[in-house]
Structures are given as structure tokens and as C-alpha cells.
Chain A
Amino acid sequence: MPNVLITGADRGLGLSLCKEYLQRGWTVFAGKFMEDFTLLEDLQAQNTSLHILWLDVGCEDSINEAVQAIIRTTDHLDMLISNAALMGDVKCKLYEPPMELEQVWDSFRVNALGPLLLVEKFMPLLEKSKEKRLCFVSSEVACITLMQHRHDSPYPYPMSKAAMNMGIRIMHNYLHPKGYTFRLFHPGWMKKRAPDGSLSETALYDPDFIGEIAAKYFDKNLGDEHRLVMVDYNGYEWPW
């Protein structure tokens, strides 16, 4: 059966994607980052195809260690799902000085540079797969065109996600001719899962509902693989 690495798998969409691929019989490598969440361990107790590894995508050394951990189990990787992201409680708005500019770098480091390093480090394993599928969880706030008229958001997260999309474009230019296929997904506004597994009241969607949609989109083969597009949970394409 195929295998997949999913980052940011402690909760939310990442955890839901783990469940989806385990149900499909895949071997799942789940990147864990949050010590106070044990939902992955609960899932592992029910399924031996789930392998948990510590992975901070904002840290190059951590990514290298995750590569070594996976190499001990397999010699290839079929699919990589870059889901981990940093939103943070940020103070970075005009007219509310001083803007905490280091938070722009922090967001960029995790959300834009992280996926780039992740793909680079796991390429030797991806190269040994016929699938070579790279999936990225992005956001509507990455969309520069439609960001117009959205007032008062803090800067770092949308800026980092726009930069991430650019990084993926350059990756696509380089890797698609080498047989890689890409998925870029906007999951919508999902409820947050607490350490006890309960979901928040705010937000619109259960991550399990979105996870099912995302897993289908990531897994299926498309007729227009040469195109790089960002698709949302309704299947609509978004502009850049």
C-alpha cells in the first residue's frame, strides 16, 4: 500500500487526513508538534500503520531528523502533505505601532520556508516513488487578488501564505517536468479541536468533513496535471 507524510497532524485537518488515509489502508507518517495533544497516540493505539514522528517544519534540523526516522521504516515516500502552519496571536497592524516585524519572519519561516525545506529534504524518498505527489494546505488569505477589501487582518499569516504559493509555483516549474504532481488546497474555516478531542463552537466546518474532501482531492488523478491551481473545499479554483 502507498504511504504518506502529513505535517501538523496533532489536531484539525492534519489529524483528519491521518484518519482518512489509514481508512484507505495507507501507511501514514504523522508529524507531531504539540506536546499537549495526544489524539495521534489515541489513533495509533487503534492502527499500527500510523507512525508518529516529531516534526517542527520551522526547523531544518527537525526536518532532517524526520527524514532519518522515516528511512528506518521505508525507502520511499508516495505523498507529502504539507499541512502545518503558524497563525499565532500576532500584533502587527498599521496604526498600532510598533508592528512586531519578527512575527512576519516567524510566520514566513514556518508557513513559506518550511514547505520548501520539507520538499527538498524528502526528495530522495519521493524520487523512489511512482506517485511523487506534493500536497499543500494553503488559505484564501494567500490570494492577493481577493485580499482586497479584507480590512484589519494582521499582516504575517496572509503574507506568509502568499509567499508559500510563490514558492510552490517555483517548485512546480522545476518538479512537474520531472514527474511530480501538485495539489494546493484551501480548507475553509474549520472548527478547532481541543486536547480532549472536542470541537470549538466557532467556525463553520468539522475538520473531519473537510479532511474527507481534501483526501479525495489529494489522492485522485486529474486530467490537467500540468496546471498549478488552488482549489477550495467546494472544488472552486481561486486566483493568485
Chain B
Amino acid sequence: MKNIVIAAKETDFEKALAAVFTREGYHVHSASDLPSDFNEPIEYLLDTTDKYNEEDTFTLTGGINADVIEQTLRENVLVSMALLERFLPQLDAGQGKRLFYISSAEASINETHAERGYGYRMSKAALHQFLQMTWNKLTPKGYTLRLFDPMTEDVLPHAAAEAAYHYVTRRRGMENEDGRRDDEDRLVLRDAFGRAHGW
């Protein structure tokens, strides 16, 4: 049975995503529950880290809360960096070599119309750059990356999990077995409806 690691099984989306992969025959481990001596190869890392602080609603004239911004950066970026560093040797040993991360179209510098939510959006922009640089480093080793917006406000968790499962397990652009349509040579943010979003 193939091992995959999910960051946690706490949110409805995480539980649904773990359930879909379990149904499809994977052994889904929660990162927080794994013993430190677990050293089996890992196929996929499903980094579902995605924190939004409810106090992250201030505007420039409403009083920037630097503590909220710092906490959000730590939760959304530093945790993900540590998680990848921790499991990288086992991912190197696995066959799948696919990394999955959560973001939002609202964290697109191109697209956002937001006037607030600095912590979440700035942390995700930093994550996007981390993933772009990680893509540079890992694709020569055979890795592929997935960046996914589960559209939490609009799509039910189980539907988003099904979309995420297909996004993770299929080779992007190869559905028709047409090599000319391969699309793995770039990092893409896709949402639960399959739409790509700019940076």
C-alpha cells in the first residue's frame, strides 16, 4: 500500500481528502501522528496547511495588527517549509514525488480586489514564491507540484476533496494521452472548478 502524508486531519476538507485517498487504496498518515522513526518511502505530501486568522480584517486605517500578520506567516509558510524539509528524504525514496499545497485565488496579486486580509494574502504570496523556487530545485529530481484552491466558501469539502484527488493523481495536461498537451513544466494554481489563476 502506498504511503501518503497529509499535514493534518482536522478540517472538513482534510478529513474528506484523507477519506478519498483511503478509499482509493492509499495509506494516509497524518504528519502530526507519525512517529519520528517512521522512515518508509512516501508517494505524495498533501500539505493542507491553510490558516486564516479571524482578526485578519484590518485595513490601513483600521490599525495594522503586526502580531496577526506574523502568526499567519508562521502558520502558513514556516510550518509548510518545515514539513517539506522533514519528509524530503522519504519523498526522495518514493515513486510519486508529488507535492500538494493549499492556496486561494484571492492570494493572486493579479486578481485580488481585497482591501484587507494582509496576513493571509501576503503569507500565501510568500508561499507561492517558496513553491516556485522549490519547483526549480525539485523538478530535475522528478518532482511535480500541485497548488490548489479548495474554494471553501463556494464548494463543499467532499466535492473539493474529489477535485483535489484528481488534480493530485493525474499528470496535468496528459488526460488525453497527448504529449503535446503536457503541462508539468510550470507551477500552476488551480481551483476546485479546475480553473487556473495567475500569480
Interface residues of A (CB under 8 A from B): 60, 93-95, 97-99, 101, 104-105, 108-109, 112-113, 116-117, 119-120, 123, 142, 144-145, 147-153, 155, 158-167, 169-171, 173-175, 239-240
Tell me which residues across on chain B come within 8 A of A148, comparing CB atoms.
132, 135-136, 186-187
Query: B123 within 8 Å of A by Cβ?
Result: yes
The answer to whether B109 touches A165, judged by C-beta atoms less than 8 angstroms apart, is yes
For the complex, give the distance between the alpha carbons of A193 and B126 in Å. Answer: 29
The distance from the CB of A111 to the nearest CB of chain B, in whole angstroms, is 10
Closest residue on chain B to residue A144 by CB atoms: B199
Partner of B73, one of A105, A144, A149: A105
Closest 3 CB pairs of A and B: A166-B125, A162-B129, A174-B115
Asked whether B180 is an interface residue with its Cβ less than 8 Å from the other chain, the reply is no
Listed residue (A117, A120, A161) with the most chain B CB atoms within 10 angstroms of its CB: A120
Task: Report if A149-B85 is in contact (Cβ < 8 Å); known contacts: A60-B66, A170-B117.
Answer: no
Smallest CB–CB gap between B55 and chain A, Å? 16
The verdict on A159 contacting B115 (CB below 8 Å), with A97-B85, A148-B187 known, is no
Query: In the complex, A116→B123 CA distance in Å?
Result: 14
Taking A144-B128, A144-B199, A148-B187 as contacts, is the C-beta distance between A117 and B135 under 8 angstroms?
no
CB atoms of A105 and B78 under 8 A apart: yes
| Proximity string of chain B (41-73) to chain A, C-beta cutoff 8 Å, 1 when within and 0 when not | 000000000000000000111011010011001
Secondary structure class of chain A's binding surface, majority of residues: helix
Contact between B122 and A166 (Cβ–Cβ < 8 Å)? Answer: yes
Nearest Cβ in chain A — how far from B114, in angstroms? Answer: 6
Q: From residue B136, how far is it (CB to closest CB) to chain A in Å?
A: 5
- Does B82 belong to the interface (CB within 8 Å)? yes
Nearest-CB residue, chain A, relative to B92: A95
Docked-complex contact B129 and A105, CB < 8 angstroms: no
Does A170 lie within 8 Å of B115, measured CB to CB? yes
- Chain B interface residue count, Cβ-Cβ cutoff 8 angstroms: 49
- Beta-carbon contact of A153 and B133 below 8 Å: yes
Of the candidates A93, A159, A161, the one having the most CB atoms from chain B within 10 angstroms of its own CB is A159
Q: A123-B60, A163-B126, A170-B116 are in contact. Are A144 and B66 (CB under 8 A)?
A: no
Known: A101-B78, A147-B132. A169 touches B109 (CB 8 A): yes
Contact partner, A167, options B78, B122, B127, B138, Cβ 8 Å: B122
Cβ contacts under 8 Å, B84 to chain A: 94
B23 at the interface (CB under 8 A from A): no
B129's contact among A99, A158, A171, by CB below 8 Å, is which? A158
Give the contacts of B107-127 with A (CB-CB under 8 A).
Answer: 107-110, 112-118, 121-127
A240, B136: Cβ atoms closer than 8 Å: no
Q: Are A240 and B198 in contact (CB under 8 A)?
A: yes
Contacts A144-B199, A148-B187; is A159 near B129 (CB within 8 Å)? yes
Known A-B contacts A98-B85, A123-B60, A163-B122; A104 and B78 likewise in contact (beta carbons under 8 Å): yes
- When distances are taken between beta carbons in the complex, the residues of chain A under 8 Å from B110 are 240
User: Which chain A residues lie closer than 8 Å to B73 at the CB level?
Assistant: 104-105, 108, 163
**Contacting residues of chain B (146-163) with chain A, CB-CB under 8 angstroms:** none
Tell me if B107 and A119 are in contact (CB < 8 A).
Answer: no
Contacts A159-B133, A240-B109 aside, 14 further interface pairs with beta carbons under 8 A come to A93-B137, A98-B85, A99-B85, A104-B73, A113-B70, A116-B118, A119-B60, A123-B61, A144-B109, A147-B129, A155-B133, A159-B130, A160-B126, A162-B128
Contact A116 B132 (CB under 8 A): no
9 example contacts (A-B, Cβ-Cβ < 8 A) are as follows A94-B137, A105-B70, A108-B126, A151-B136, A160-B126, A163-B129, A170-B115, A170-B118, A239-B199
**Max chain B Cβ within 10 angstroms of own Cβ: one of A98, A104, A158, A162:** A162
Complex Cα distance, B118 from A162, in Å, reads 13
